[in-house]
Amino acid sequence: MPDATGMRTPYQARGRMISAGEGPASTWNAANLITIGRIVLVPVFVALLVAGPHGEAVRWAATVLFVLAIATDSLDGRLARGRDLVTDLGKILDPIADKALTGAALVVLSVLGELWWWVTALILVREIGITVYRFAVLSKRVIPASKGGKLKTVLQSVAISLALAPLPQLLGPWVDVVNSVFMAAALVVTVVTGVQYLIDDRRLNGR
């Protein structure tokens, strides 16, 4: 958004916070604040998850916090698009918030010995790699989220939530089997959609 001198400024402090309408959206609008809040919750979530083995209540608290944080991803996106609050800062922070939360969950689960490291590594390489690639080409084009990408997000969220929740103690070991199925599905879809992103982008841009 150009300032009074005609120069384009990357951040707009003043503007619309939550209302739709004409005029620029503030960089610190409601959607972006929700995204920032999700990033702030990551270290709190990690602290609870690390302390989880010392008490079931703490593990449940970590699970609930993860589910609530994941739910805000849909909330801030719909708010930003529905009320025209999309900003450059939001475009940068949103994927960072998502990857920070899911990445932290996967890494800590592996540290605790509850998830194979190779699963965590494959998912993180795909997520970080595609995010870096999208940022690298952002000045030229925007790579939109695909239906496969949305399915990937849902499967990851469900799989991680099942891995976090101490449900086997309540319902029995069959929950571990269900979690393994969801985690395997999330892993396959994560890798396949990552490869498909690159293939589709190169095909559309003639490279």
Indicate whether this model's pTM tops 0.85. Answer: no
Count the neighbouring beta carbons within 10 Å of the beta carbon of residue 59.
19
**Sequence spans of domains, the chain:** 30-204
Computed over every residue of the chain, the mean pLDDT equals: 81
What pLDDT shows up at residue 49? 92
Position 3 confidence tier, pLDDT thresholds 50, 70, 90: very low
Residue 52, C-beta contacts closer than 8 angstroms, at least 6 positions apart = 58, 59, 62, 112, 166
Cα separation, 156 vs 106, in Å, equals: 10
- Backbone phi, psi, residue 2, to 5°: -65, 145
CATH class of 30-204: mainly alpha
